[in-house]
Structure 1
Amino acid sequence: MGKGYYGAALMLALALGGCGGKSPEVAPAVQDDPAFAQQQQQWRMQRYQELTAPDGWTTLVGLHWLEHKAHYIGRGPGSGIRLAVGPDKLGMVSRQGERWSFTPERGVPLSVDGTAVTGRIAFNSDHDPQPTRIAFDEGKGQLSLLQRGQRFALRIKHADAASRSSFSGLEYWPGGPQWQVRARFLPHPAGKTLPIVDITGLTTAMPNAGLVEFQQGGTTYRIEAIAEPGAPLFLIFADRTSGHGSYPAGRYLDTEAPGADGYVLVDFNHAYNPPCAFTPFATCPLAPPENRLDLRIEAGERAYHPPKESAP
């Protein structure tokens, strides 16, 4: 490949550097096909930007399960839930029946969607149509409510998180065009679900519209898809590299909705690590037994190794 492409890729990397003053460390997609390499490099840069955005997965600094009907939260010693960042007293989270609310501490500047919070507000979870995200520390911090089964938790993000400023970049398997497979989509009966266990041990029945079937090395493999009928597919899989160069719990992959011909492109070069590979404060679904492949997929993201000073 000519020097022009690599020069352009380097300039793009430098231009996108904005995470703690560091330039993104993104392994170049080295392939004989310039168009393929450029496509992969663009995907990798977008992936890096999403991870290191001011509210990306590398900004998580806390996950606090709510065990009572009311919790005072803040960084100070008088708070029932101690935050790693933020004001000493942030406010109170309370539950009334099936709904939660948030009451701010007087004098603490907070906002939701740019509007100042001056009194008690409804606190919607990520399962509600419009989740509530409370901004603090001049917008650098974010407080949100998660629901996992019957349990609720507070998730805290902060743009100044050490896990963001010291993010060491992504590494990739060699991959190649041979890992772009045309898979046949085999639909399931309407309403079928698949039990998916997350890293907290919770099992959730997720919509399972069908599976993708593909061949590699003369062998046929299948991956059950998480999706509603007619929608894009979300694949959670583990393979022979899991725990041996790839994240042990498996990886994720997104595809477009199956075409009218019943086929879909599955690009394993775009297999990516779940959020739990970067932070201990995420709740990630794990690969079901049906999606554990007897195949080494040497494409997509390798396991992430944080710098020692920022490792949890």
Structure 2
Amino acid sequence: MTTTTPTAPEFQAAWSAWHDAHERARASEHGFLAITSIRWLTGTPERFDDAPGTWSTSDDGPVVVLAEEESIEVDGVRVTGTHRFGPLPERSSTSVVWQDGDETVVVEVARRGGSDVIRPRRPSNVTRVSYPGTPSYEPDPAFVVDAHFEPFETPRSVTVGSVVDGLQHVYEAPGVLTFDLDGPRSLLAFNGHGDGLHVLFTDRTSGVTTYAANRSLDIAAPDASGATTIDFNRATNLPCAYTVHATCPLPPAENRLDVAVEAGERLPV
């Protein structure tokens, strides 16, 4: 099969289109920049100042009890009184819509690290309204590298830490990516979107010009021989780089690259 190497203008244009779309999604009216708080639910019913109803949870999942004058929308259906969400799978989330005066608020109901949480998302949140955009390195073809995927005989469950003290995340790792970037390197890969792969990593720029805790990268599914491409120009910050109301995972120890990856998103302003 013959492939065509993009010209410099084509490479720049493709990256710019991708990054502009990523920025629009990040700053969307109910994206993570709109989150006003993270509330860890317990068995004791609690009312919060940025969400409707009284919330609690148990082995049967989160429950909200709405006051007489309150209502929410769940899957487009108006709900009053008591609503039970049922047990939520780990790392899953669902959303309800609350009309607070003239503002439409989306309340994310999620399970993270074995706990149920809610995170209201308000378009007028100052973090979103004042968001200036994220600086990035200029796209550089030198940071697009050929990689080989080496699958494990059996996918491994990998436990990683979180930006929240004491919280842990468990991911399924199907194998390892090996590549050359100023020397031989490897990254433990997690399952990504569809058949693709996902990696979390740090490098020599972390805490200097890029976010200290982690960066994230999606990688196309390998072909039958295990060949794929890693484009570090598309490395992005996770929500924890912008808000304290995040539960982002930390990279596994294997993914601390001893090289300066001067590509992708930089420290937020």
TM-score by length of 1: 0.77
Tell me if structure 2 keeps the 8 A contact 1:124–1:131. no
2:13 is the counterpart of 1:38? yes
2:249 is the counterpart of 1:289? no
Structure 2 CA distance for aligned equivalents of residues 227 and 215 of structure 1: 22
In the alignment, which of 160, 165, 177 is matched to residue 196 of structure 1? 160
- 1:257 Cα deviation after fit: 1.3
Structure 2 CA distance for aligned equivalents of residues 229 and 36 of structure 1: 23
Structure 1 residue runs without a partner (length 5+) = 1-30, 76-82, 306-312
Structure 1 residues 41-100: Cα deviation after superposition (integer angstroms, max 9, x where no partner): 001101111101111121111001123x1323242xxxxxxx3xx5xxx21223354322
Tell me if structure 1 keeps the 8 A contact 2:203–2:261. yes
2:64 is the counterpart of 1:102? yes
| Number of aligned residue pairs | 261
Partner of 1:61: 36
One-letter identity of the residue aligned with 2:257: L
Q: Per the alignment, in what secondary structure is the counterpart of residue 48 of structure 1?
A: helix
Structure 1 CA distance for aligned equivalents of residues 109 and 69 of structure 2: 22
Structure 2 CA distance for aligned equivalents of residues 236 and 212 of structure 1: 12
Q: Per the alignment, in what secondary structure is the counterpart of residue 265 of structure 1?
A: strand
Partner of 1:113: 75
Which stretch shows the higher mean deviation, 131-140 or 230-239? 131-140
The percentage of counterpart residues that share the same residue type is 29
Cα RMSD for the two superposed structures: 2.3
One-letter identity of the residue aligned with 1:94: S
Partner of 1:205: 170
One-letter identity of the residue aligned with 1:73: R
Tell me if structure 2 keeps the 8 A contact 1:125–1:132. no
Partner of 1:269: 233
- 1:228 Cα deviation after fit: 7.4
TM-score by length of 2: 0.89
Partner of 1:133: 95
Runs of 4+ aligned structure 1 residues displaced above 4 Å come to 128-131
Partner of 2:3: none
Q: 1:245 to 1:130 in 2, by over 3 A?
A: closer
Higher relative contact order, chain-length normalized (CA < 8 Å, sep 6+): 2
2:119 is the counterpart of 1:155? yes
Partner of 2:143: 179
Structure 2 residue runs without a partner (length 5+) = 1-5
Q: 1:231 to 1:126 in 2, by over 3 A?
A: farther
Tell me if structure 1 keeps the 8 A contact 2:162–2:247. yes
